[in-house]
Amino acid sequence: MRNVIFAAVVIALAIPASAGSQQKGKIDHLNGKWKCVRVEMKEGLKPQDAGWVMTIAGNQVSWVSNTGQNAGPYPITIDPDAKPPRMDFSGVGIYCFNGDTLVFCWWSQANDRQDTFDLPKHTAPGRIFTFLRVKD
């Protein structure tokens, strides 16, 4: 899989106001509710970790766990121009977006971020989360 993201240390971007409005237009498509349908680590699939719902609203993210516990809202930083695109909250990550599917690879430490979704190539283990957009 190519280009994913999910994150651990919240990182603030220093972007001029005009660039901020340009960035906003590039990430509006990520706003909404996303259901986690797959979680994978180097050791394999983790189906017990799927089923939670993440909500992205502007520069905030929150979620409801698969056991019904709420978390957030927390600040989120999204950089769609990075190669691969980055999304940071409660850790750091890379992401790939295609229509109603969002794939996010997450690490808990900022210095662990990699530029691939290929888990066997990770020097620091990441987790790949696959989300489907929740339609109202």
What DSSP state is assigned to residue 4?
Answer: B
Q: Quote the pLDDT of residue 132.
A: 95
Q: DSSP string covering 87-129, please?
A: EESSSEEEEEEETTEEEEEEESSGGG--S---GGG-SS--EEE
85 cis-preceded (ω within 30 degrees of 0)? no
Q: Quote the pLDDT of residue 39.
A: 93
Split at pLDDT 50, 70, 90, the class of 17 is: very low
97 in any annotated domain:
yes
Residue 74: domain span = 17-133
39 in any annotated domain:
yes
Q: Are 122 and 128 in contact (CB under 8 A)?
A: no
6 in any annotated domain:
no
115 in any annotated domain:
yes
The mean-pLDDT minimum among 44-48, 72-76, 98-102 falls in 44-48
- Distance, CA of 20 to CA of 18 (rounded, Å): 5
Q: Quote the pLDDT of residue 84.
A: 92
pLDDT at 64 over 70: yes
Split at pLDDT 50, 70, 90, the class of 89 is: confident
Q: What is the CATH number of the domain that holds 102?
A: 2.40.128
55 in any annotated domain:
yes
pLDDT at 16 over 50: no
- Distance, CA of 59 to CA of 76 (rounded, Å): 5
- Distance, CA of 3 to CA of 80 (rounded, Å): 10
Q: What is the pLDDT of residues 92-127, one digit of tens each?
A: 899 998 889 999 999 888 889 888 888 888 888 889
Vertex 15 angle, CA 9 and 20, to 5°: 105
Over residues 63-81, the mean pLDDT reads 90
Q: Quote the pLDDT of residue 47.
A: 84
Q: Quote the pLDDT of residue 125.
A: 86
- Domains: count for the chain: 1
* Residue 110, number of CB atoms within 10 A of its CB: 14
5 in any annotated domain:
no
